[in-house]
Amino acid sequence: MPITAHLDLNLKAESLPTAPDVLRDILSDTRAFDGCLGVHVLVDTNDPAHFLVVEQWASLEHDSAYRAWRAGPGASGLGELLAAPPVLTRFETSFEI
């Protein structure tokens, strides 16, 4: 079953000028990872340091393999940009309308 993952990011103010380019580089690897169906980056209209990365995965197993890779050899260095730890929430589609 497909999974939608939300990665909630709060960036340091001093990271904002470079954040889009850094995220593009990091997320190009995400898009290329086996099972990734798509990635979107949303920016809070009231807080330009608040980003939401929305990832779609073919399955929970694909997403879990990606998270394990990022925790090890695929570490991105994203943490250097962050003002707080990221929050990951994963969702299954319950039903479609």
Average pLDDT, integer, range 6-15? 97
Q: Tens digit of pLDDT for each residue in 63-97? A: 999 999 999 988 888 889 999 999 999 999 888 77
Q: Which helix (H) or strand (E) covers residue 29, if one does? A: helix 19-32
9: number of Cβ within 10 Å: 22
Supply the pTM of this predicted model: 0.92
Q: Tell me: the pLDDT tens digits for 32-50? A: 999 999 999 999 999 999 9
CA–CA distance, 68 with 90 (Å, rounded to integer) = 15
Phi, then psi, of 73 in degrees rounded to 5: -65, -20
Structural tokens at position 9: 């990011």
Domains of the chain with CATH codes: 3-92 (3.30.70.100)
φ, ψ of residue 64 to 5 degrees: the values are: -65, -40
Which DSSP symbol is given to 70? H
DSSP 83: S
